[in-house]
Amino acid sequence: MSEFNVAVVGATGVVGREMVKILEEREFPLNNLTLLASERSAGEIINYRENKLEVQELTKDSFNTIDIALFSAGSTVSKKYAPIAVKSGAIVIDNSSAFRMDKSVPLIVPEVNPSDLTRHNGIIANPNCSTIQMVIALKPILDIAGINRIIVSTYQSVSGTGKDAVTELTEQSLKVLNNKKPKSKVYPHQIAFNVLPQIDEFEGNGFTKEEMKLIHETKKIFNNKQIRITATTARVPVFYGHSESVYLVTDKKITIKKLKGIYIKTKGIRLVDDIANNKYPLAIMSETYDEVMVGRLRKDLTEPNGINMWIVANNLRKGAALNAVQIAELLI
């Protein structure tokens, strides 16, 4: 079989639409593309190459002829329909958090742990967007110097929440600029012209679910439970692109010069680090580049093995849709 029947579940969402675009851009060997969403969107038209494809309502019979199903419709939909898709003979690549920490489900970033893909039971998980960009940037350091400690603070765009959040930021911004009172539906507080130090719900330990995802997923992808990692995740009024301030302490010494040399040669990473000319990764640059961008590299002045850096990536593409399609490419 050299061409595949692929389904995108959540095809009308911000990530689903990106999945369709990326399948086209990368000329994925498709026999047939099925676009699935809720009954609200049934009949909507989405273009794929010269074809106008009609979105279908997701049902338990949607997967009868599907080889690969890319899911991005949230955890509830994945929990219900991914097992049905697997039973129908499809392999599921799931962008939700439903199965990520399940021991029998590989959690894959193709540049970091492709060999984990060999053992799966039909479901493969795509990591959280903020995890993907961080592990790609840290993997070369882990390999040559080891990592003892990671302290990460994120500045995440609203598209990571979905299309309703993109609308909320637009509408609130217009309201504020017109001296009107903005309404919040998606977030617990106004997001326009504000920063929210909360992504997802709080857990009993004072951390949010997003922070715990970043912690647990990093350890699983690096296959290393010893790494000491702590996280603060914040939502910022940016439409696309997640930024991260990462501080890490390595086991062995590594110079910034050597690290830059490694980053220049690493596939999937773009070094943007020229402070003399005010050049560093910016969220808006993630609309142009698919690589994970790394910059502001510097030695901590108080800890011999400490390094600070700034990491930016497109949360909808490398942080979600592109990573999922790359997993599908690895599979085939």
Question: Parallel, antiparallel, or unpaired for β 68-71 and 123-125?
Answer: unpaired
Site string (113-132) toward ligand A2P, x via CB under 6 A: --------------------
Nearer Cβ to ligand A2P (165/292): 165
Q: Are 15 and 75 in contact (CB under 8 A)?
A: no
- Determine the interface stretch with ligand A2P among 91-99, 132-140, 162-170, 310-318 (rule: CB under 6 A): 162-170
Nearer Cβ to ligand A2P (49/79): 79
**Alpha-carbon span 48 to 178, nearest angstrom:** 39
For residue 180, state whether it binds ligand A2P (rule: CB under 6 A). Answer: no
Nearer Cβ to ligand A2P (14/53): 14
- Determine the interface stretch with ligand A2P among 90-98, 158-166, 219-227, 242-250 (rule: CB under 6 A): 158-166
- Confirm whether 216 is a catalytic residue: no
Identify residues 47-86 at the interface with ligand A2P (CB under 6 A): 58, 73-74, 77
**Number of residues near ligand A2P (by CB under 6 A):** 18
> Considering the complex, what minimum distance in angstroms separates the CB of residue 304 from ligand A2P?
44
Q: Could you give the C-alpha distances from 26 to 3, 21, 29, 322, in angstroms and in order?
A: 14, 9, 9, 10
Choose the catalytic residue: 120, 189, 216, 242.
242
- Determine the interface stretch with ligand A2P among 36-44, 46-54, 175-183, 195-203 (rule: CB under 6 A): 36-44
> Considering the complex, what minimum distance in angstroms separates the CB of residue 169 from ligand A2P?
13
Site string (6-35) toward ligand A2P, x via CB under 6 A: ----xxxxxxx-------------------
Q: Which residues pair with 52 in a beta bridge?
A: 47
Q: Are 138 and 147 in contact (CB under 8 A)?
A: yes
Of 127, 96, 154, 329, nearest to 220 (Cα)?
127
Residue nearest to ligand A2P (CB): 13
For residue 321, state whether it binds ligand A2P (rule: CB under 6 A). Answer: no
**Alpha-carbon span 259 to 272, nearest angstrom:** 13
Q: Are 135 and 244 in contact (CB under 8 A)?
A: no
Whole-angstrom distance between the N-terminal and C-terminal Cα of the chain?
9
Quick one: which H or E segment has residue 129? helix 129-145
> Considering the complex, what minimum distance in angstroms separates the CB of residue 159 from ligand A2P?
8
- Determine the interface stretch with ligand A2P among 147-155, 156-164, 239-247, 307-315 (rule: CB under 6 A): 156-164
- Determine the interface stretch with ligand A2P among 4-12, 85-93, 101-109, 273-281 (rule: CB under 6 A): 4-12
- Confirm whether 242 is a catalytic residue: yes
Question: Which of helix, strand or coil describes residue 55?
Answer: coil
For residue 41, state whether it binds ligand A2P (rule: CB under 6 A). Answer: yes
Q: Are 149 and 248 in contact (CB under 8 A)?
A: yes
For residue 140, state whether it binds ligand A2P (rule: CB under 6 A). Answer: no
**Alpha-carbon span 103 to 105, nearest angstrom:** 6
Q: Could you give the C-alpha distances from 120 to 9, 73, 154, in angstroms and in order?
A: 20, 21, 31
> Considering the complex, what minimum distance in angstroms separates the CB of residue 81 from ligand A2P?
8
Q: Are 247 and 306 in contact (CB under 8 A)?
A: yes
> Considering the complex, what minimum distance in angstroms separates the CB of residue 261 from ligand A2P?
39
For residue 169, state whether it binds ligand A2P (rule: CB under 6 A). Answer: no
Query: Which residues contact residue 177 at a Cβ distance below 8 angstroms, ignoring those fewer than 6 apart?
Result: none
Q: Are 323 and 315 in contact (CB under 8 A)?
A: no
**Alpha-carbon span 162 to 14, nearest angstrom:** 6
What residues are annotated to the active site?
Answer: 129, 242
Interface with ligand A2P by CB under 6 A: which residues?
A: 10-16, 37-38, 40-41, 58, 73-74, 77, 162-164
